[in-house]
Structure 1
Amino acid sequence: MDRDEFAASIDHTVLGPETTWDDVETVLTEAVEHGMNACIPPCYVAEAADYSNAPEAIATVVGFPHGQHAAETKRDEAVAAWDDGADEVDLVINVGRLKAGEDDAVAAEVSDVVAAVPIPVKVIIETALLTDAEKHRACEAAVAADADMVKTATGFADGGAAVSDVELMSEYLPVKASGGVGSYEEAMAMFEAGAERIGASSGVALVEGFPE
């Protein structure tokens, strides 16, 4: 993996509750300058898509951050994001339903979103809240729903990406490792474990840490 390939595998992210358009504009500019993608709140997607200096890919989130929206609301969110110009969506599963054993409901909800938009859907399973058995079931639901990727975390629960989780998840689908990845070395550990994408608010530091 060369520097350009490394950078193109990073989703430079800003998703905090106080995020302003100025924050998003900064992330978009940094993403372009460093060859990264951007992951931003849904309320700014239309502006970002029309921005004169937009990155190659703009991702946004659906059902964020807790995944407890009604299934119809998640589907409508995804469609609105696509209409606004999003290139990818990161969808949070309903962890409570998974823990209750309602795996079919989880898969159906994801499937509705996948069917509603013609863009990649990454399924956030929130690994810090799951047992290994539940992680397997969450990934199985994502596969059953024909999702494109599985993603470790929102960054809003305790804990984030772990090498062991990436290894487990990569048995099922391509993995986006997100949550607490703050350095080039940490990012490479995720890639070596099987990740194909990294989500990080510290995207600039990751790329600038790439060895010369």
Structure 2
Amino acid sequence: MENIRQYLDSTYLKLPEQAGLTPDENREVVKQLVNEAIEENFKLVMVRPDMVNMACQMITAADSNVDVGTVIDFPLGQGGVEAKLEEARQAIQDGADDLDFVANYSAYINGEVALVEEEVVKCTALGLAHGRVVKWIIEIAALTDEQVAGICQLIKGAVSATADLEDYNNIFVKSSTGFYKTEDGKPNGATIEGVKIMLQNAAPLPVKAAGGVRNYEEAMAMIKLGVKRIGTSSAKAIVSGASAEGGY
């Protein structure tokens, strides 16, 4: 079994007001997350775009191999392709290794397939041209099983039309933002059932399970299914065998 740490994208994406903190306090939380990732040698630390430069500087200063990822057009994915590209260019300039784009899943639900295809093609090409890992967040809690299958197939099709086979390992389909509001207490992140559908329909593109993976057993269950990355705010709990509370 590979080192579970190398599957973990240790994540903190709350804005200060969402966390009930001041901007300075929220920045301290991000610093703690980065330091923890360095100490634990997690694969990656996932932060908001305005925190990328700081995280990169900290990791460089520590001579660490931890990667830095950020989210683009987060959390709704409705900003349009030009806004996505502009935000991604800035993230690349700031040093981000991974770019997790929110697909315009609302447009997909409304049948605007060409719009979604265009952003996948153009944004993926930008990321690959700069040697970055690209992930497409599809927000499975907002979709039916059929729509999950369909948008995975759409992303795979758009990628296969534009990317080389050797690039596929660097283009993921990702389950969730962790910020989608569900009804009746339904999970808003990765579920076993949802991830199975993603794996079946995104292959050969790798899958990232994000949201709802909070302990070692849940993480191992996802890895055994075949996911290649896990986005979680509970990375330390996962590797220490504890169980964490919270949504992501």
Category of TM-score, reference length = shorter chain: over 0.9
Q: CA RMSD in A?
A: 1.5
Pick from 121, 126, 130 the counterpart of residue 134 of structure 2: 121
Q: 1:130 and 2:140 equivalent?
A: no
Percent identical pairs in the alignment equals 38
8 Å CA contact 1:104–1:141 kept in 2: the answer is no
Aligned counterpart, 2:95: 85
Q: 1:193 and 2:236 equivalent?
A: no
8 Å CA contact 1:175–1:197 kept in 2: the answer is yes
- Give matches, 1:1-212, under 5 Å: 1-2=1-2, 5-18=3-16, 20-36=26-42, 37-51=44-58, 52-53=61-62, 55-117=65-127, 118=130, 119-146=132-159, 148-157=171-180, 158=182, 159-171=188-200, 172=202, 173-209=205-241
Letter in structure 1 aligned against 2:231: G
Structure 1: which 5+ residue stretches go unaligned?
none
Give 1:193 deviation, angstroms: 1.7
For the residue of structure 1 that corresponds to 2:196, the secondary structure is: helix
Give 1:202 deviation, angstroms: 0.6
User: Which one has a larger percent helix, Structure 1 or Structure 2?
Assistant: 2
8 Å CA contact 1:64–1:91 kept in 2: the answer is yes
Q: Stretches of 4+ moved more than 6 A in 1?
A: none
For the residue of structure 2 that corresponds to 1:170, the secondary structure is: helix
8 Å CA contact 1:153–1:179 kept in 2: the answer is yes
* Deviation per residue, 1:56-106 (Å, 9 max, x gap): 211100010111112100011111101100000111011111001112211
Structure 2: which 5+ residue stretches go unaligned?
20-25, 160-167, 183-187, 243-248
Aligned counterpart, 2:163: none
Higher Cα Rg, which structure:
2
Greater RCO structure (CA 8 Å; 6+ sep)? 1
Tell me the matched-pair count: 208
TM-score with structure 2 setting the length = 0.80
Letter in structure 1 aligned against 2:193: S
CA 1:22–1:55: 2 relative to 1, 3 Å = farther
Letter in structure 2 aligned against 1:201: S
TM-score with structure 1 setting the length = 0.93
Give 1:55 deviation, angstroms: 4.9
For the residue of structure 2 that corresponds to 1:13, the secondary structure is: strand
Letter in structure 2 aligned against 1:59: G
CA 1:115–1:78: 2 relative to 1, 3 Å = same
For the residue of structure 2 that corresponds to 1:180, the secondary structure is: coil
Letter in structure 2 aligned against 1:139: C
CA 1:55–1:39: 2 relative to 1, 3 Å = farther
8 Å CA contact 1:12–1:200 kept in 2: the answer is yes
Whole-Å separation in 2 of the counterparts to 1:30 and 1:55? 13
* Deviation per residue, 1:125-174 (Å, 9 max, x gap): 00000011111121122213327000110001131110111111112221
